Structure 1
Amino acid sequence: MAPELYIVLAIILLVISVYIGVYYIKKKHYNKIDELDERKTKLQSMVPVDKANSLDRMMTTGQSKEQADKVLKEIDDVEVKRLPSVESLLFDAEQATDRYRFKQATAAQEQADAELSALEEDSNRLGQTIDELLQREEANLKKIDSIKKRYHKMRKELLAKSFSFGEAIQALEEKLGDMEHHFTSFSDLTASGDHEEAKKIVNKLDARLTEMETHMEQIPELLNTIDTVYSVEMEDVQEGYQTLLNQKYIFPEDVNMEENIQEVNQEIERMKQAINQLHLKEMDSYKTNIESTIDELFDVMEVEIKAKTQVTTLMNKLTKIFYFLANQDREFSLELDRISQSYVLFKNEEDLHKELFSHLKEQKVIVDRIDEQLEEQSIPYSEAHDLLEKAFDQLEELSRSYESLSDILYSYRTKELSIKNELEEMEQDLRDMKRYVEAKHLPGLPEEYLQLFRYTTNHLQSLSSEMARPRLNMEEVVKLYDMCEEDLNHLAEATEEIVDQALLTELTSQRLYRHKEEHPAVMETIKYSENLFIDEYDYETALKMVKEKLESIEPGAYSEVQERYNKEKAV
């Protein structure tokens, strides 16, 4: 096939494709225009023209007329301007589609779609508004009829139960009287066709009646609370207060019972006045203040009544504890005198005793003064109770201090006996160590060890001499005892160390002697170690020499010697 034929076929196919595409786009636009036109036609039937004509014929005045005129103007605007505008946009879209101006057609369609949506929403709103305006008179009349029934029922109840509202009856009747004026205004506005203003009157009457119903429900209950609760409780408070005064009770300075009683009575009167003036929103505040203050007044009296019994109990306890402490002090004084004859006291016991006795006298003065004030009836029982409780706590603490101080005194004798027993054991330990060293048949002992032995012996002798005194200085005794204990521990360690060094030197030398044939220097080391061992008693250096020589010839051999020695020693 010739190339020219291919080109012709391609052009034909391109033209066909373009034609099909253009046809499809035009078809899509025409369908959308038809859809929008159907919405416009449906919308024309939705516009509440007949209702608007009925509203136009209806007699209205005032705000009702203003609202009706506004709705009619919007209906007219829909018919005269907005619907024809949509028609024009659809025509423009159709013309643009015919001329293949698809972008222009799309813009016109979108504008028409948005306008139709707005018209549909406004049409529904206008229809609802017109229905409401047409039914406003009827709705107002139905509601006012219901309100009148409530009003007459309320007036009958107010007359039948006037006694239960107290002095508030006058304010309630005045409020009902004010409603008559609103009923008249409603009738006038309805007759003149101003149904919007009439609706406001209806709502105002409904709110006033609801408020009145609430007042008529609350007031009897509030007045009953005042008469049967607050007044009765205040009578009890005043009667109880007077009874306590007659019994010579005293109240704390920061609690002025008479002023508080007067304040509650005044608050009750203010609450009554607020009820009479129908200021019921303030009731929660009044009730809270009155109830909390009444509770406080009862609490104050209850505290004083309870405190009187507690004071009596405490005074009995204090009498007993003073007697007990006096005996405790007397016994301690005797014990202090006895112990001080046998021991030199060094823990400030006498000054501590004087301090305790001074505190005891101070508390006695305090309690006696409170007792006098109670006799004179010049102190509230609650204050007396608090002061006596503090005194009781102080005295219990004093008793514990006396016991602690007594324990210190008794500890002198206990410590003396303990140290005597320990001294005997220490002396026995010293003798045992001496025999232990002698049993090892050592050639001699290092001078340093002998000095430690003599030093320990001298301290034990000093302790023994100090313990033999007719009046022990326990501070010095304890000091010497601690020194002896420390010296003896050091001596025991030194004794064990010297014996171990001496015996290990002998065992190590025996092990080292095995190597004398192959190592000629071994005998020289053993001989030098023996000189240190026998002549100078330097067991530490003697052991060090043979140990190092043995390890250089037979590594690990010394550990075996030491392990065998420890096993034999343990047995």
Structure 2
Amino acid sequence: MYNYIIPIVIVLLIFVVVLFVYRKKHHTEISRLDQKRLDLQNKPVLEELSKVKKLNMSGQAEEMFERWRNKWTDMMDDDLVQIEQQLIQAEETVDKFQFKKATQIEEEVEQRIDACDGELENILTELNDLIESEKKSRVEIENLKLDYRTSRKTLLAHQYSFGEAGNLLESRLAVFPEKFEAYERLTAEGNYLEAKEIVKELDHEGKEILRLITEIPTLLTDVQHKIPNDLSDLRNGYRSMEQQSFFLLHLELPEKLDAIEAQLPILKEQLVQLETEVAIEQVEQMKKDIDAYYEALENEVHAKQFVDSNFTKLGTRLEDLLLAVDEMQYEAEVVQKSYHLTTQELAMPRQCRSALNTYKQRYDLLCVEVKEEQSAYSILKEELEDLDKLVEIKKKEIEEFSKKLVDLRVHENEGREQLESFEQRLRLLERRIQKANMPGIPDEIIARFKEADQQLDVVKQELLEVPINVGVIAANLKKSNELITEAEGVIEEMLSNVQLIELLIQYGNRYRTSKPGMDEKLTEAELAFTNLRYTKALEVVATAVEAAEPGALKRIEGLAKQTVTRV
């Protein structure tokens, strides 16, 4: 029995501890909620309401004040009292260990406190907006009065700049004093919200009038003076250029100027009616069009200067190139007798002549147009520039082809010099082999010599042919160089190997009797050497010497390279 009592007691103790822990937790939560209730109750709503009350409100402002006060009173008398009662109920529930019910009450209290707090924040915000609105409106109305006086002074001082539009601006400004009086009256009565609406209305209208006062004088100056003067200057310039034989019909300038001129009275009427938004766009477009017309006339003047300066020069260049083509044709015929020319190269002079004849026809037509003065100089300039570019391209082609014909002789001489140089290289290789004092020359080396020599014979034969094909000679010389270079590499390697074999055999003789098998290896290497199998001989003797004395091969290779270099 004793064994059962102890566990039961322990379980009961644990249960009691848990109950008291939960009760403490709920008491802490209730204290927190009660503090939130007190914070809510202490919000400075009454102080703010008293500030607003001093404003002597009426109308909408007074209605809002009453709504805020009633909301605050209801919240203090009803909501906060009920919240306090719920918190007391929650404490009693916790003391009875009814934790689930306590949690429900706590959650409901939290929600009600948050809802009340949100409503109070809205009240405080609206209160502050009303107070700040009255202050802000007072500052704005003073600024509006200043803008009004400035606008009035501007209209009076510069009335001539506004023309008939000044009367309408005056009538719109005449409303401002009445609005100012209405603002002061509503403010004195405490109707701040309606006063604020007047400020908004005046602010919009004031900005609009200031904009009009700024824009209209400039627009009227453009419409009544600047644009008409520009149109007059353009007409005079147009007539003057026609008298100087400029062809200007393609510009259609008189018709375009008439169209602009017809729009000016309409624009002026729009400005008188203070309709500036459309007028601004149209005036700016007129200015751009007028600038474009000035530029078009200037382009014609510059184009005439270009044509006058370059027209004769192009004709002279064409005549010179036609003579150059004839000389190139004759030169090509002469060169063809000595050198091979491709079909494309032979056709080059004829193609150039055909192209130049076409350019000459275009130039002759251009001459007629310039003489008749029935074409715009800008169009003549474009045609002249296009022809000039084509002639320049053809000139370069002619110069390059003429140089190519001259270079054929240069390439022939260069080929002969290269041929002589390659023959000297072959003779030098022969002398090096002879000085090497070898038992013989392998068939592979003889074959390489023969192939290179035959290739040089091919070049010699091609240099004797008429006409000479410089391109084929260059290709064969390139092949000759490759063959000789390969032969030089193989022979260099062979001479090095022969020298190394002789040095290794001499070095290996010291071990011929002392090292087993050395005599047989050296004998084998000597036999291969005598039979011109130099690669085989080197492989055998190098392996034997290195086996007898490790590191000897490397030292002897260095000595062999120095010997071959001296040879």
What is the TM-score of this pair, normalised by structure 1?
Answer: 0.69
Deviations 1:47-98 (A, max 9, x none): 799999x99xxxxxxxx88987x5898799799x879969x979x99xx9xx
Q: Judge conservation of contact 1:459–1:480 (CA < 8 Å) in 2.
A: yes
2:379 to 366, 379, 383: 383
For 2:521 and 2:495, how far apart are their aligned partners in 1?
21
Which of these residues, 468, 471, 474, is aligned with residue 472 of structure 1?
468
Which of 206, 223, 226 is the aligned partner of 1:226?
A: 223
Whether the aligned pair in 2 keeps the contact of 1:363 and 1:391 (CA below 8 Å) is yes
Partner of 1:18: none
Secondary structure at the counterpart of residue 511 of structure 2: coil
Deviations 1:133-158 (A, max 9, x none): 9xxxxx9xxx9xx99xx89x96x998
> CA deviation digits over 1:363-419, x for unaligned, max 9?
323333333223233432222222322222222222222222223222211111111
| Superposition pairs of residues 296-335 of structure 1, within 5 angstroms | 296-335=292-331
What's the counterpart of residue 277 of structure 2?
281
Task: Tell me if structure 2 keeps the 8 A contact 1:250–1:380.
Answer: yes
1:227 & 1:364 partners in 2: Cα distance? Answer: 53
Percent identity reads 22
- 2:559 counterpart residue number: 564
Q: Alignment partner of 2:475: what SS?
A: helix
- For residue 528 of structure 1, report the CA deviation from its aligned partner: 3.3
Distance in 1 (alpha carbons) for counterparts of 2:273 and 2:356: 66
Q: 1:314 touches 1:389 (CA, 8 Å); kept in 2?
A: no
Give 1:129-278 correspondences, 5 Å limit: 165-168=162-165, 219-251=216-248, 253=250, 255-278=251-274
The 8 Å contact of residues 456 and 488 in structure 1, kept in 2 or not, is answered as yes
Task: Give 1:229 deviation, angstroms.
Answer: 1.1
* Structure 2 CA distance for aligned equivalents of residues 525 and 275 of structure 1: 120
- 1:198-233 CA deviation, whole Å, 9 max, x = no partner? 978999799878866765675444323323311111
What amino acid is the match of 1:487?
L
Give the Å deviation of 1:352.
2.8
Q: Which of residues 528, 538, 545 is equivalent to 1:550?
A: 545
Q: Cα gap change, 1:166/1:541 in structure 2, threshold over 3 Å: closer, same or farther?
A: same
**1:421-440 matches, cutoff 5 A:** 421-440=417-436
1:512 deviates by 1.4
Give the CA deviation at 1:423. 1.6
Contact 1:167 1:276 in 2 (8 A): yes
* Inter-partner Cα distance in structure 1 for 2:428 and 2:51: 132
Return 5+ residue gaps in structure 2 as ranges: 1-34, 96-111
Contact 2:495 2:564 in 1 (8 A): no
Aligned length in residues: 510
Report the Cα offset of residue 443 of structure 1. Answer: 2.6
Q: Please name the residue that 1:499 is paired with.
A: 495
For the residues of structure 1 that align with 2:390 and 2:437, how far apart are their CA atoms?
A: 69
In structure 1, what is the equivalent of residue 16 of structure 2? none
1:486 and 2:482 correspond = yes
Which one has the largest radius of gyration?
1
Q: Secondary structure of the equivalent of 1:348?
A: helix
Residue 462 and residue 340 in structure 1: after superposition, are their counterparts in 2 closer, same or farther (change >3 A)?
Answer: same
- The offset of 1:464, in angstroms, is 1.9
Distance 1:265 1:71 in 2: 60
The residue number in structure 2 matching 1:353 is: 349
Give 1:537's aligned residue.
532
2: CA distance, partners of 1:469 / 1:457: 19
CA distance in 2, matches of 1:345, 1:388: 35
Shift in Å, 1:129: 9.7
Check conservation: 2:246, 2:373, Cα contact below 8 A: yes
| Residues 1:167 and 1:554: Cα distance change in structure 2 (over 3 Å) | same
Distance 2:123 2:442 in 1: 125
Q: Secondary structure at the match of 1:432?
A: helix
Distance 1:273 1:454, change over 3 A: same
Counterpart Cα distance in 2 of 1:118 and 1:493 = 102
Kindly tell me: are residues 420 and 221 of structure 1, through their superposed partners in 2, closer, same or farther at Cα, counting changes over 3 Å? closer
Mapped contact 1:49–1:75 kept (Cα < 8 A) = no
SS of corresponding position for 2:499: helix
Partner letter of residue 225 of structure 1? D
Q: Distance in 2 between matches of 1:198 and 1:206?
A: 14
Alpha-carbon distance in structure 1 between the residues aligned to 2:76 and 2:524: 140
The residue type paired with residue 474 of structure 1 is V
| 1:162–1:169 CA contact under 8 A, matched in 2 | yes
1:236 deviates by 0.7
Deviation of 1:477 after TM superposition, in Å, equals 2.1
Q: Which runs of 5+ in 1 are unaligned?
A: 1-31, 56-63, 104-110, 134-138
Partner of 1:414: 410
C-alpha distance in 1, partners of 2:462/2:418?
14
Q: Which residue of 2 aligns with 1:17?
A: none
> Structure 1 residues 518, 290: closer, same or farther in 2, change over 3 A?
same
Question: What is the identity, as a one-letter code, of the residue corresponding to 2:533?
Answer: D
Code of the residue aligned with 1:308 in structure 2: it is: K
Structure 1 position 295, deviation (Å): 0.9
Please give the alpha-carbon distance, in whole angstroms, between the structure 2 residues aligned to 1:124 and 1:416: 102
Alpha-carbon distance in 2 for matches of 1:485, 1:560: 35
Please report how far the alpha carbon of residue 312 of structure 1 lies from its aligned counterpart in structure 2 after TM superposition. 1.8
Distance 1:466 1:174 in 2: 107
SS in 1 for 2:468: coil
Aligned-residue CA RMSD (Å): 5.6
The answer for the alignment partner of 1:25 in structure 2 is: none
> Structure 2 counterpart of 1:250, which letter?
F
TM-score of the two chains, using structure 2 as the length reference: 0.69
Counterpart-to-counterpart distance in 2, 1:210 and 1:531:
117
Residues in 2 aligned to 1:421 and 1:404: alpha-carbon distance in whole angstroms: 25
Q: Measure the CA separation in 2 of the matches of 1:123 and 1:567.
A: 106
Alignment of 1:107-122 (within 5 A): none
Aligned mates of 1:47, 1:439 — CA distance in 2: 127
Residue in structure 2 matching 1:365, options 361, 367, 370: 361
- Relative to 1, partners in 2 of residues 1:287 and 1:469: Cα closer, same or farther, differing over 3 Å? same
Superposed displacement of residue 559, structure 1: 2.1
Q: Are the structure 2 counterparts of residues 122 and 390 from structure 1 closer, same or farther at C-alpha, using a change threshold of 3 Å? A: closer
